[in-house]
Every structure is written in C-alpha cells, then in structure tokens.
Structure 1
Amino acid sequence: MKKFYEKSELWFSITWIIIYVAIMGNLRNNFGDESIFSLLGVLIIAAILTIFIVKNNLKEKYGLVLCKNAKRFLYFIPFVLLCSVNLWFGAEMHYDLPHQIIAMITMLLIGYTEEVIFRGLLFKAIEKDSIKQAIVISAVTFGIGHIVNLLTGQGTISTILQVLYAIAIGFSFVMCFYKGGSLIPCIVTHSIINMTSKISIHNEDQMWSYISAIFIIVVAGSYALYLKKQKN
C-alpha cells in the first residue's frame, strides 16, 4: 500500500473513495446502519487508514493533531450550531437500544473515515498542484458522495437537500483544515452530526427540512468565508 501511495497520492485517495463508497454503500443498503456488518465494515476501513497514517508518520500531514489556536476559529461555535440541528426537536432512545447504539457508533466512524478520505487524502493529494482545485473538489465530492444515501431508502428530495448542505459543510471543513492544519474539529463535528441523526426526533413537516437546510448552508457558508480570510 505504501508503494501505491508513493507512486500517486491522487490515485491512492481516489481508490479509497471507490472502496469506501462501494463497501459502505452496499452494506448500509443491504443491512442498515444498525447492523453489525455495517459497523465492522467501516471499522475495518477506519482501522486500515489510521494504521497506515500512523505507521508512516503522516498524522501531521493529514491533520490528526490538535488545533493550536481555537480563538482564531471563533472557538468553532459555527460547528456547534451545525451539531445542534438534529436536536432541534429533541432526542429519543428507541426500544431496540442495542441496534440504535450500533447505528450511532457506525455513524461516528463514518464521520471519521469520510474526513480522513475527503479532507485528508483527497485534499492533500490535489493541494500540491492547486489549492483552489483542492478546496473545491474536496468540498463538492464530499457533498455529491451523499447521493449514495438513495441506496439506503432515503427520499430523493431529502437526498438533494443533503447534497447541497453537505457541500456547504464541506467547504467549511476544508477551510478549517487548510487554515489550521488540524482535522480534529471537522472529525468531531462530522461524527456528532452523524450520531445525533440516529437519536433525533424528526419533524414531518417538509418545511422544516428546507429551513434546516438553509440554516446549515448559511452557517457553514459564512464560516467558510470567514476562515478564508484567516492566515494559515
């Protein structure tokens, strides 16, 4: 794997995107997020990536280090606001608690894995040639990647909204990583958003889907623009 990485970081990252989407798309579609198979699938992918990064002393390159100056990043308050959306109408634990816990852990690991792949591997692979392209491609592919949720039975309109606000979140995440050198705030935020989606109480009114999507786009987009003005 190291030889492949050294030969082409870009194709290394693209290969991992394909592997991740293919494996997790099929597992989540066939078994659901609450299945032990989905949990094991993302756990294995996350473990392989983490071992590779640690073993080859790439933690700093891929942002698996703490952010040194939270004040410059407004103490990540915009990320806290993004994390709050799933809890606007409260939270509840289901009667099938073990499966709900498995789903939450699965979504936590999905948040970690997607950040390492999209914000870590892909961004860094493209950054060497063009910062602008790296930022745009990392954010847009992250958003478009959520189309895979159609395979899990998610509605078309909900998926389209998710793609749009995921692109906005993607821009805020990649700007945070680019300016601060740490992927940890992005990993934590992404994981919390994912996990709370499994305990949130949903408002069935479609209007709230639009309101929450607009809220996320405005908060994430504004934060990305703010971070853009900060020095690296």
Structure 2
Amino acid sequence: MSNPKTKVSLSHRRPVLTVVIIEVLLLLAVFAAGAYATINELSYTSPVLISFIPIALVLMVYFTWKKKWNALGFRKLSSIPAAGWVYYSPLLLILVVISLKGMREIGVSEILFFIFFTLLVGFVEESIYRGLILKTLLPKGVKTAVITSSILFAITHVLNVLSGQDAFQTVLQIVYALLIGAVLALLMVKNNNIIPLILFHFIHNFIQFVGNDNSDAFIGYDLIILLVLVLYCIWLSFSLKKTPVSAGIDHAI
C-alpha cells in the first residue's frame, strides 16, 4: 500500500500542464535569445548557443540530482536487444541521402564549432522531447505521447520563418520535423535508449550545416525522405503493436 504522505510529482498529477510548462519555457528562452542576438547583430547560431548552453547545464544538473539519467534512456548501447537494432537502419539511409549534396569548403575551426553546436542541439532537443516530454505523457498512452511530443518538436521549427526562409521550405521543414519527431519517439518507446537518437540528431544536423547550400536542387531528395519517414512510422507503429513496450520505462519525471 502506498504511503499517503508520499509526495506526488507535478508530472504525475498534471502531466499535460508539465509538458506545457516545459515547452513554454523552452520557447521563451529561444525567443529571448533570438531577440538579444538580433539587437546585438550576432551570428545566426547565437540564439541557440545563448539559450541551449544554460538549458543543457540545467538538464544535466537536474538529471543528476533526481537520478534520472537511466530512466530517461541514457543507457549503454548494449541494453538494446540484437533484434532491436534493425529498427534504426532507415536512419542510416536518411543520413546517406542528405550527405549526397556534398560538403562545402570549411575550415577546421568551423568544423569543430559545428561538432560542438550540433552535439549541443542533439542533447538538448532529444532530452526534452524524447526524454522529458515523451516520458511525462506516456501514462496517457503511447499514441498521445508520440503525437504530442512530435507536434511540439515541429512547432519549435516554426521559428525558422523568422530567419527569412521561404514559405515552401518552412512548411517542408515543419513536416520533416514532425515525421522525424514521430520516428525518434517511436524508437524511444521501442528500445528505451536515447543515445542512438542523440547520435542521429547530431550527425544529421552536422551534415546539414557543413553541406553545400543547394537545397533547391535537392527538393526531390527531400520528398523521397518524407516518403521514407512516413513508411518508417507505419513500420514502427506496427512493430509496437506486435511486441510490448520496452520494459523498465520510468514515467516519473
């Protein structure tokens, strides 16, 4: 019998409210950093650096303080069953396709910067969307958790409208982010390991940043990737229906 005096966390009592708070705080941090960078005419990567570095530090302190690293999927890769690795194979296909545009001329210092930058983004975004938000909503059901976390992940990419990007590219990126978010969320539910997701996120963004800026020529490839992602989501969804959700998932945040 549970102790009536045991303190129940906000995420247990109000999971939806918890998710709203997390998303609002993230958007406020990014908007504030963006405003500061615009006023001071800083580089286009500055808003992310200004907002994500302190967020990353807060997340690491919080995960350590609450001992949530393991519960949020920060586990050894060996914890993934041998049969589970096949579900990551389409991610490799996506990385191959986006790397086809080649690499622009770039110096070593810039490469090192983008390694740090994309690792930062991968850690923060996966920890928030496939970690905190997804796990908070899982008691509401896998479908609710996956769809909501994916939509919120896509919403953050609406900020690209402010960077002068054309409407078609913005819509394409939002849909792309929505499908990528769904795939990564389903993989998290499937194997309960966030490390492969962070690595994919990191490599994916790194290729995008150091690649040639010839997005118009690669619209066809983007559409192919979107089709792959749709089929990928269907495959993962059916696989979850056939097998139980990965054991040991801790919903408490």
Using the aligned pairs only, state the percent identity. Answer: 22
Displacement of 1:170 after TM fit?
1.1
For 1:155 and 1:103, the matched residues in 2 are separated by 24
8 A Cα contact 1:87 1:201, kept in partner: no
Question: Match of 2:158?
Answer: 147
Candidates 206, 223, 230, aligned match of 2:232: 223
Question: Match of 2:125?
Answer: 114
Matches within 5 A, 1:166-185: 166-185=177-196
Displacement of 1:98 after TM fit?
4.0
Greater mean deviation of Cα atoms: 69-78 or 116-125: 69-78
- Calculate the aligned-residue CA RMSD, in Å: 2.6
For 1:132 and 1:59, the matched residues in 2 are separated by 24
Listed as ranges, the gaps of 5+ residues in structure 2 are 1-7, 246-253
2:84 is equivalent to residue 72 of structure 1: yes
- Structure showing greater Rg: 2
1:22/1:65 CA distance change after superposition, 3 Å? same
Displacement of 1:164 after TM fit?
0.7
Question: Match of 2:54?
Answer: 44
Listed as ranges, the gaps of 5+ residues in structure 1 are none
Greater mean deviation of Cα atoms: 168-177 or 108-117: 108-117
State the 4+ residue runs in structure 1 displaced beyond 6 angstroms: none
8 A Cα contact 1:90 1:201, kept in partner: yes
1:23-49 deviation line (CA, Å, top 9, x unaligned): 2244356233444x6424312101211
8 A Cα contact 1:135 1:174, kept in partner: yes
Structure-2-length-normalised TM-score: 0.78
1:132/1:61 CA distance change after superposition, 3 Å? same
8 A Cα contact 2:101 2:211, kept in partner: yes
1:38/1:145 CA distance change after superposition, 3 Å? closer
Structure-1-length-normalised TM-score: 0.84
Query: Number of matched residues?
Result: 227
Letter in 1 for 2:127: V
8 A Cα contact 1:32 1:38, kept in partner: no
8 A Cα contact 1:70 1:76, kept in partner: no
Partner SS state of residue 49, structure 1: helix
2:225 is equivalent to residue 213 of structure 1: no
